[in-house]
């Protein structure tokens, strides 16, 4: 028998975006129903951010043993137990899982129904034997690996990020189709764990990032043994488990034992029956306005399903945005100018705001570039992490973008996100005091570099200082 439920807020999807809304709305007094037909925690916890970073941590540990001689420790060839590495990954997921668990959210007052949701009308959603009527509905169903219809792929075993971490035997030679962040992170990790790896990219690897800075990442991966083939659009896949071939359109053939598809993501809209709710879609997901509202004004869409930047931190940010109108009736708009992203290779590559090319296209000659190199940072020198640099795009004294390549770039970029979000001036960043010696000084020195020519290469400044010195007692 169908059970009718009425609630203030219905959240469809228990990934990062949906959980943030459910927790916030319930703790502030709203009635919340949360639907999830698969894993609590969504892609990030189970197949994405968490397991990939755990795997990368194991790979870094292995790699550190091979390059320790400059620090006075003899290099060693690490003995890698791939199954134990994947056990470590599973343990990390298990350690974090209680934070996203059904039990925790029920403890917060959320009614959790472990079923997929399907719209029946603009205000009603069916989930199993339940029909939920809600004042406001939030779609946060996320995305899944995109598997393009490459001829022959359906007859060959392949991996995605949803199955990669189930492996217990190390791939002898991993072929990766896709040279974006996911593909390159997994490429470097597996080379460090003892696999051969070939990355097959139809265009240019890391195409969304600053090409000069991206090239430093690609050079580092190649130096470690990752083979990166660009301009190699996969045209046919053939073979069987342990003997797979990928043929590109220009006649190149790449051979390996395992195949990982890492060509992008697709929005999870299939089960939703969006037309029944009057919700429009685009090629990338659900169409939303600046307030994250769909064409049905009672329904919001956030996270990967909204078709924008597909990052866990974006999902959390958008959740915070929509809580204001849902709970308090207050207008709120989501922006993207201050949203950072990072690729967790070694060196890391991070970006916020405009790249140099984007800044010059938008602001022309008003753009000034301030930069600083890792090899002038004392902490980087002490740890032999001197590969890297930062550049900040500045317009009329305010940063509009920053690009960092190097150790802990993903951590360093946060300051520039704050600066852009707060519309800070470079003088305010330069006024920051960073503890010595830290990588954080790189940000301060970049801001200082913006002022150096104004202070040290300015004849008028020297003239004023000279006059003042004559008058000082």
Query: What is the C-alpha separation between 258 and 449, in angstroms, rounded?
Result: 47
pLDDT tens profile 319-372:
999 999 999 999 999 999 999 999 999 999 999 999 999 999 999 999 999 999
- Residues 412 and 426 occupy one common structural domain: yes
pLDDT band for 66, please (50, 70, 90 cuts): very high
In the structure, what pLDDT confidence band is assigned to residue 1 with cuts at 50, 70 and 90?
A: confident
Specify whether 364 is located in the same domain as 446: yes
| pLDDT reported for residue 124 | 97
Statement to judge: residues 370 and 415 lie in one domain: yes
CATH number, domain of 348, equals: 3.30.390.30
Output the pTM of the full model. 0.94
Expressed in percent and rounded to 5, the helix, strand and coil fractions of the chain are 40, 25, 35
Bridge partners (DSSP) listed for residue 144: 266
Note the residue count of the chain. 473
Question: Same domain, yes or no, for 278 and 365?
Answer: no
Average pLDDT estimate for 191-196: 98
| Separation of alpha carbons 429 and 427, rounded Å | 5
pLDDT digits over 412-465, tens only?
999 999 999 999 999 999 999 999 999 999 999 999 999 977 777 778 878 888
Within 10 angstroms of residue 391's Cβ, the number of other Cβ atoms is 21
Domain extent, residue 212, equals 153-263
Q: Are residues 246 and 369 in the same domain?
A: no
User: Average pLDDT in the 120-149 region?
Assistant: 97
Q: What is the DSSP code string of 275-331? A: GGGT--EETTEE---TTSB-SSTTEEE-GGGGTS---HHHHHHHHHHHHIIIII---
In this structure, are residues 20 and 320 in contact, taking their beta carbons and an 8 Å threshold? yes
Distances in Å between the alpha carbon of 19 and those of 105, 112, 123, 174, 302?
8, 11, 21, 34, 11
Which of 62, 265, 50 is closest to 165 using CA atoms?
50
Split into its structural domains, the chain has a count of 3
65, burial (CB in 10 Å: exposed 0-12, middle 13-18, buried 19+): middle
Report pLDDT for 465: 81
Rounded CA separation 52/44 (Å): 9
Pair 258, 174: CB distance under 8 Å: yes
Domain assignment present for residue 306? The answer is yes
Asked whether residue 361 falls in the same domain as residue 432, the answer is yes
Q: What is the pLDDT of residue 469?
A: 86
385-404: pLDDT as tens digits: 999 999 999 999 999 999 99
Percent residues over pLDDT 90 in the chain: 94
What's the mean pLDDT when you consider all of the chain? 96
CATH for 210: 3.50.50.60
**Quick one: pLDDT at residue 174?**
98
Separation of alpha carbons 21 and 24, rounded Å? 5
Reported as a pLDDT band with limits 50, 70 and 90, residue 261 is very high
């Amino acid at each position: 028998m169908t059970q009718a439920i009425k609630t203030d807020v219905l959240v469809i999807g228990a990934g990062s975006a949906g959980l943030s809304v459910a927790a916030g709305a319930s703790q502030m007094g709203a009635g919340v129903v949360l639907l999830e037909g698969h894993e609590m925690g969504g892609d990030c916890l189970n197949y994405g951010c968490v397991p990939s970073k755990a795997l990368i941590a194991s790979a870094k540990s292995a790699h550190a043993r091979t390059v320790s001689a400059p620090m006075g420790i003899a290099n060693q060839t690490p003995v890698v137990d791939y199954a134990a590495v994947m056990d470590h990954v599973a343990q990390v997921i298990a350690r974090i899982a209680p934070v996203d668990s059904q039990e925790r959210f029920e403890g917060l007052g959320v009614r959790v129904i472990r079923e997929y949701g399907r719209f029946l009308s603009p205000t009603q959603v069916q989930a199993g034997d339940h029909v939920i009527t809600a004042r406001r509905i939030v779609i946060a169903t996320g995305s899944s690996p995109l598997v393009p219809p490459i001829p022959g792929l359906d007859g060959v075993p392949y991996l995605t990020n949803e199955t990669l971490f189930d492996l217990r035997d190390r791939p002898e030679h991993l072929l990766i189709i896709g040279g974006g962040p996911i593909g390159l992170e997994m490429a470097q990790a597996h080379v460090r764990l003892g696999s051969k790896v070939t990355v097959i990219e139809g265009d240019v690897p890391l195409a969304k990032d600053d090409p000069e800075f991206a090239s430093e990442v690609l050079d580092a991966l190649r130096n470690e043994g990752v083979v990166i083939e660009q301009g190699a659009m996969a045209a046919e896949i053939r073979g069987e488990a342990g003997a797979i071939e990928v043929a590109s359109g220009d006649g190149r053939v790449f051979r390996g034992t395992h195949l990982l598809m890492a060509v992008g993501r697709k929005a999870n809209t299939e089960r939703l029956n969006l037309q029944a709710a009057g919700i429009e879609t685009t090629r990338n997901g659900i169409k939303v306005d600046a307030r994250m509202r769909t064409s049905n004004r009672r329904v919001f869409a956030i996270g990967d399903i909204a078709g924008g930047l597909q990052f866990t931190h974006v999902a959390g940010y958008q959740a915070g945005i929509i809580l204001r109108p849902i709970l308090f009736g207050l207008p709120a708009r989501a922006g993207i100018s201050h949203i950072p992203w990072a690729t967790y290779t070694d060196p890391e590559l991070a970006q916020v705001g405009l790249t140099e090319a984007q800044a010059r296209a938008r602001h022309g000659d008003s753009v000034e570039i301030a930069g600083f190199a890792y090899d002038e940072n004392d902490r980087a020198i002490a740890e032999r992490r001197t590969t890297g640099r930062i550049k900040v795009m500045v317009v009329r004294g305010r940063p509009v973008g920053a690009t960092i390549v190097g150790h802990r770039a993903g951590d360093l970029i946060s300051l520039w996100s704050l600066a852009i979000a707060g519309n800070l001036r470079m003088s305010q960043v330069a006024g920051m005091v960073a503890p010595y010696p830290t990588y954080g000084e790189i940000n301060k020195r970049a801001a200082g570099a913006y002022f150096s020519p104004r202070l040290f290469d300015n004849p008028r400044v020297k003239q004023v200082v000279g006059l003042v010195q004559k008058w000082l007692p």
